[in-house]
Chains A and B, each alone.
Chain A
Amino acid sequence: MYGFHAISTHNGWAMAIAGTLIVFSGLVVLSAVISQLHKILLFLETKYDRFRNNNKIQESDEPDEQPESALPTIFPSALDEIARLYQPLIEEIGETFYLSDLYKIAKENKFPHPHITFTAFRDAKILIPHGEGVFSWKSPIVDTVNENE
């Protein structure tokens, strides 16, 4: 048996169409899920951090001593140096974050003019936008080479 007759007899058309639809739907669902994965993770991390911070406040009877600022008295003007000072904050909030969170934490740590600094970071592609207020951090590469020299 050959040709279209053979295809119809063995249910070939149905298998081809159903197979195509199944594999497409499977990969579409997977891609949809992973496209939201970083947002879900970010949301959960933010929630968890807030929950942890709230618990800390409730547990401590005495108010926390104001942490000593790690900032130098004279703030550097070179963007790479400023980025280096921001590095501990980035480590604290994770590799991907909402810009508003970085702003908040920068304010808390008394970094001067975070708004202007962020604009400079964006221009220098140290802050990489991913849409909807989500950013990631890309450290400037210069430092180690220059330091070694």
Chain B
Amino acid sequence: MDLLFQFLSNTGYYLADYRNVIMIVVGAVFLYLGTAKKYEPLLLVPIGFGILVGNIPFFKGFGLGIYESNSVLHYLYFGVTTGLYPSIVFLGLGAMTDFSSLLARPSLMLLGAAAQMGIFFTLLGALGLGFLPKEAASIAIIGGADGPTSIFLTAKLAPHLIGPIAIAAYSYMALIPVIQPPIMRLLTSREERLIRMPELRQVSKKERIIFPAIAVILCCFLAPASIPLLGTFFFGNFLKECGVTERLAQTARTAIIDTATIFLGLTVGASTQGDVFLTPKSVGIFFLGAVAFSIATASGVIFGKIMNLFLKEKINPLLGAAGVSAVPGSAREVHLVGQSEDPENFLLMHAMACNSSGVIGSAICAGILWSFMIVL
């Protein structure tokens, strides 16, 4: 009988805490959004299931939890805390990215730079709300709307905040169709939304091959701390474009990135144990994340309008919203908002140019912030 009682007292039903229940509900919402609503399913499904796994109550000391050394989850989580998974994800992203539209219209890169304003505004906001500098920098990078970059920087600066920051970053990426369109419409007139972009010039293969080599040198010389992200990103792109390593590029953009995404999502989800995750700080992070993402979108759009003051050939300021690095979600949203005004207006390729420059910009920002914090 004692054995039975002892067993029952070790079950999840007995050990359950209200915080675990709340997080299990959050995990179920993620799974619902990912599967039924198809909001970023490749991210929300692994994270949602990870939240379920991480919040099953267990007897401490068995080496089961993600924060207990020698547990299987702890070993898998190693890829997050060292920044390994984000680097691998960037390799795959590079092997998927086509920079043709950016090479055809390099001035659109400025919109990608402008959208990074959200990061630095949020840095100030987080410091003002009482977060420590390293925590504030980790929260600020949510404004880049780039999950792997957010996880990478947080792992380096404030590992105790990986769970809330990753969840906030991926949640806002999934909620792009909800967050961005109202901001875009609010900041642009109908005439501006109707502006059509000229057809892009054809880009030669040589340009596409040389670009990753030049970009990695220019960006990483400027912010060497971004090497783990941009080094693999541009390497992946070179594999894709050079034409002699198609097999490697194919593996990088399929098996490798998928494997990293599965383990990244699952372990980040599992790191949201109720007792660790549900704190006032997490609430602050979610609030600041929303602010960061909104400011990033607004900065891009406003900068697009400013560029129009000086350009003879006007650009559609909606493109600025794609300067955040949520690829390809924000580009798709820009295209849809443009088409809702004029079904003949095709902004997707131009928006992808801004999107890919946003990826580069947010990775540079991560490098810059990391460098600043080393100095502090």
Contacts and interface: CB of A to CB of B under 8 A. Distances in A.
B215 interface: yes
Interface in B132-157: 132-133, 136
B190 interface: no
A1 B127 CA distance: 9
Given A26-B222, A35-B106, A20 B204 contact: no
Contacts of A33: 214, 218
A130 B128 CA distance: 49
B7 to A, nearest CB: 49
Contacts of B44: none
A26 B229 CA distance: 16
Interface in A122-141: 128, 130, 136, 138
B207 A38 contact: yes
Contact of A95 (B204, B215, B357, B376): B204
A34 interface: yes
A129 to B, nearest CB: 9
Interface residues of B, number: 46
Interface stretch (A5-13, A54-62, A73-81, A113-121): A5-13
Nearest to A15: B372
Contact of B223 (A3, A7, A10, A26): A26
Overall SS of chain A's interface: helix
A38 B207 CA distance: 6
Contact of A16 (B102, B110, B120, B207): B120
B128 A3 contact: yes
30 contacts: A2-B128, A2-B129, A3-B128, A4-B128, A6-B130, A10-B127, A10-B376, A12-B127, A12-B136, A13-B124, A15-B120, A15-B372, A19-B120, A19-B123, A22-B222, A22-B364, A23-B365, A26-B222, A26-B364, A27-B113, A27-B357, A30-B106, A34-B102, A37-B207, A38-B103, A41-B206, A41-B210, A96-B204, A128-B201, A136-B202
In order of increasing CB-CB distance, the 3 nearest A-B pairs are A31-B109, A31-B106, A16-B120
Given A26-B222, A28-B110, A34-B211, 20 more contacts: A2-B129, A2-B130, A7-B128, A10-B376, A17-B120, A19-B119, A22-B368, A23-B365, A26-B223, A27-B113, A27-B361, A30-B109, A30-B219, A31-B109, A34-B207, A35-B106, A37-B210, A37-B211, A128-B201, A128-B202
